[in-house]
Amino acid sequence: MPVIQGCIAASMSIMSSPVVHRSAAVLLIVGTAACTPVTAQHSQPGARPWSAATPRHTSEGPRSAAPRPTAPRIPHFIRTFHVDAVHGDDGNSGRTPAAAWKTLGRVNRAAFEPGDGVLLRRGGTWHGSLALRSQGTRKAKITLAAYGSGSRPVIAGGGVAVGGSYWVVRAVRTTGGRWAGVELSGTHDEVRDIYTDHNVVGVSVTDRASDNVIADSEIVDNDRMSVNTPKSQNPNDDSGAFGVLLNGDRNTVTHNKISGSFAKSYDYGTDGAAVEIYNGDRNVISHNVTSDNDTFTELGREGRRTADGNVFIYNVVTTTKNRGAFLVTRGAGTSLGPVRGTFVANNTVSLPGKGGGWVCYAGCAPGILKLRNNVISVGGVVGQEDGAGADDDTGVYQGRVRFKLGSRSVVGDPRFVSRTNLRLRTGSPAIGRAVPLGPTDDPAGRRASATARAGGQLDAGAYDWIG
């Protein structure tokens, strides 16, 4: 795409993919100002992920603005079924480790009941797909987890497709799938403490799915494209490399580490997003630490569907790459909009090189995008709007400004502690700048309240000033 006045021109036609999702092209802003990179660090696939302990207030991760969704303890199952890739036999009952099943196919044929547990033996590898169709209940969910010792059980080349509702998927690794590492098509499902990598999508939530939780997981290097055709065939159809793809409503994505959603694209050079929302309403994306993704998030919709009232709070966004963007949304002047009521608060963003901040185009307006208490430092354009413009206030911005600053927003150095530590140093303009956020500030109808220190001061960004 040609560079126009420092920006990469975005094509607005819809791209196709093998499932429900059709992604919009990402508009990236480029610039020349310097910015400090942050080094990404990954845990080993077999280990408990980085989020083994909840990121604590000010010291270990983004502060908590609201109660974190409770992670239930591994329950005592009504019935337990074991699967052992090495020593199992599909002719067994599966009810004890000594009588374990062997294959994913045997699991796929089984009918499970509320309160059942399906346990894969640690250290084992299965090739293919797992299809979980049975239905749990609110009081008795069905659980897919692990037993034994050693590394996570691995499902390679396929993934886990959850068609039922009230499932919990935890402690497994999915890798190298042709589409999603985990795909949710039910309601009230939970994905916790998984490691998913090298898929087109780490975790996909279909348009039939709602009220699900994706938490405490590592969603890493999902770097495959579902569509990647030469420009001579189609100049605007590439799609893929998503950490989380939300096509459904009222889902929560929280306390995850999402990195490496980045792939080569014929059409755009590179493509990918940590969290992509397309035709999904009232989702909450909070307290995630993300790095080295092509874009943190992009939002779009098509036809009579909507992508309204989505909330992004207390996320940390960094990259070591020379390009990237924080957020892309749009108004009614494109077939992919309008995307109404996106609320963005208390995020900390540091993107080096030619990295860009937020873009609100094709009829931007206060009802399209609202920003509060964010700290965004980039090497390019830190924010760009057209039309009536976004509703911005109480932010700290470093980079070229192409939007109307709110009356309490400033342009300046946020004074991070170091290149790898985005907490605030004494003298940061983010200290004491934030305002409390009540229910009226949250289009999703959830309370998003900033945390006050002694004396009532509130700081912008995802981290409190320690002093």
Q: Is the pLDDT of residue 425 over 90?
A: yes
Beta bridge partners of 168: 143, 190
pLDDT (average), residues 319-348? 95
Strands of 34-165, DSSP E: 80-83, 117-121, 125-132, 142-147, 154-162
Do residues 389 and 358 touch, judged by C-beta distance below 8 A? no
Q: Is the pLDDT of residue 27 over 50?
A: no
Of the chain, the percentage scoring pLDDT greater than 90 comes to: 69
Q: Which amino acid is at 148?
A: G
Q: Is the pLDDT of residue 272 over 60?
A: yes
Tens-digit pLDDT profile for residues 77-86: 999 999 999 9
pLDDT (average), residues 42-66? 39
pLDDT (average), residues 264-287? 86
Question: DSSP letters of 364-412?
Answer: --TTTEEEES-EEEEEEEEEEE-TT--EEES-EEEEEEES---TT-EES
Beta bridge partners of 350: 318, 377
Tens-digit pLDDT profile for residues 178-191: 999 999 999 999 99
Tens-digit pLDDT profile for residues 438-448: 754 544 444 44
Residue 287 tokens read as 């307290």
Which of the four pLDDT bands, split at 50, 70 and 90, describes residue 46?
very low
pTM (2 d.p.) = 0.85
Q: Is the pLDDT of residue 234 over 80?
A: no
User: 3-state class of 94 per DSSP?
Assistant: coil
Which of 66 and 230 is assigned the larger pLDDT? 230
Q: Which amino acid is at 212?
A: N
